Amino acid sequence: MPQSRPRPRWSYAPATYALVAINCAVFLPMLASPTANEFVLTQGSNWGARELINGEWWRLLTAIFVHNGFIHIAGNMWCLWNLGLLGEPLLGSGGMLAAYLLTGVAGNLLSTGTHPNAPGVGASGAVFGLAGVLIMLLKSPLLPVPREELNRLRRSVIWFAVLNFIIGGGVWLAHTALQIDNMAHLGGFLCGLALGVPLVPKIGARPAQFVRRQWIAFGGAAFALLLIAFYLFNIYRAPV
């Protein structure tokens, strides 16, 4: 009987590989050309309230694929890679993509609401969002993994979030040239926690039931984010 070929590693987390590849593909032209760098930053970044007032809603999404510098993208992609390889087997590829996009947009919305005149780019809001989802999912007793291993993984994700929040707060207090948008981190993280709550009871269920619960959770989150965006739009377009 012929032996089956081992699956390539990327097939276990295709969405994670795709997201890292897209982020790198957006960054490479910026690295090669100052003109491309200016164009991508101008056209793809989140410009606070301006994109809402001018109808450029797409910036809330494109900004999570844009990075301003090699250290910026290297740090975010390293975190995305590790959290994605851990989270995608739990969420599935579609769930991984949805969680990345929704939590990234949530981070940009909170950033816009707290400092509407400051531009921002980066996948870190989505990275923190994935951490939030994992913190909730890894507490489930229904996962077929030893409890000690789940607790170890969950503690690692919690420490990742805590340490990076502390670093972001320290950079802000020090008023350095390096800028870290902790509000984008917080928005993504809170959205991730909220996404994880309705998924925990069904994570050990049959795949069809879990996918159905994902549709409900992600659809509800998308609707809530639309309401928040519309609320901010009405605030910033109102005459002073």
- Residue 124 designated active-site: yes
Asked whether residue 174 is assigned to any structural domain, the reply reads: yes
Q: Which of 45, 67, 72, 185 is catalytic?
A: 185
Q: Give the pLDDT score at 177.
A: 45
Question: Distance between CA 181 and CA 179 in Å, rounded?
Answer: 7
Asked whether residue 210 is assigned to any structural domain, the reply reads: yes
CA distances from 169 to 82, 102, 149, 172, 185 (A): 23, 24, 30, 5, 11
The SS3 assignment for 54 reads: coil
Q: Which of 4, 111, 124, 175 is catalytic?
A: 124
Query: Percent of the chain at pLDDT above 90?
Result: 54
Q: Give the pLDDT score at 166.
A: 86
pLDDT, tens digit (0-9, with 9 covering 90-100), for 1-13: 445 555 555 567 9
Query: Average pLDDT of 113-140?
Result: 91
Neighbours of 155 (CB within 10 A): 12
Q: Is 38 exposed, middle or buried (0-12, 13-18, 19+ CB in 10 A)?
A: exposed
Question: Distance between CA 95 and CA 134 in Å, rounded?
Answer: 12
What value does the mean pLDDT of the chain take?
Answer: 86
Angle subtended at Cα 42 by Cα 233 and Cα 130, rounded to the nearest 5 degrees: 65
Which of 47-56, 60-69, 186-195 has the largest mean confidence? 186-195
Asked whether residue 111 is assigned to any structural domain, the reply reads: yes
Asked whether residue 215 is assigned to any structural domain, the reply reads: yes
- Maximum C-alpha span of the chain: 77
Asked whether residue 2 is assigned to any structural domain, the reply reads: no
DSSP string, 213-238: HHHHHHHHHHHHHHHHHHHHHHHHHS
Cα-Cα-Cα-Cα dihedral sign, residues 62, 68, 70, 72: negative
DSSP string, 112-160: HHH-TT--B--SHHHHHHHHHHHHHHTT-TTSSS-HHHHHHHHHHHHHH
Range of the domain at 110: 9-237
Amino acid at 137: L
Q: What is the chain's Cα-based Rg?
A: 19
Asked whether residue 176 is assigned to any structural domain, the reply reads: yes
CATH at residue 208: 1.20.1540.10
Q: How many domains does the chain have?
A: 1
- Residue 11 designated active-site: no
Q: Give the pLDDT score at 1.
A: 44
Partnered with residue 120 across adjacent β-strands are 46
pLDDT, tens digit (0-9, with 9 covering 90-100), for 158-206: 999 999 888 877 655 555 545 678 899 999 999 999 999 999 988 877 8
Asked whether residue 67 is assigned to any structural domain, the reply reads: yes
What letter would DSSP give residue 1? -
Q: Give the pLDDT score at 36.
A: 73
Asked whether residue 1 is assigned to any structural domain, the reply reads: no
Q: Do residues 123 and 90 make contact, with C-beta atoms less than 8 angstroms apart? A: no
Q: Give the pLDDT score at 240.
A: 46
Of the ranges 57-61, 188-192, 235-239, which one carries the lowest mean pLDDT score? 235-239
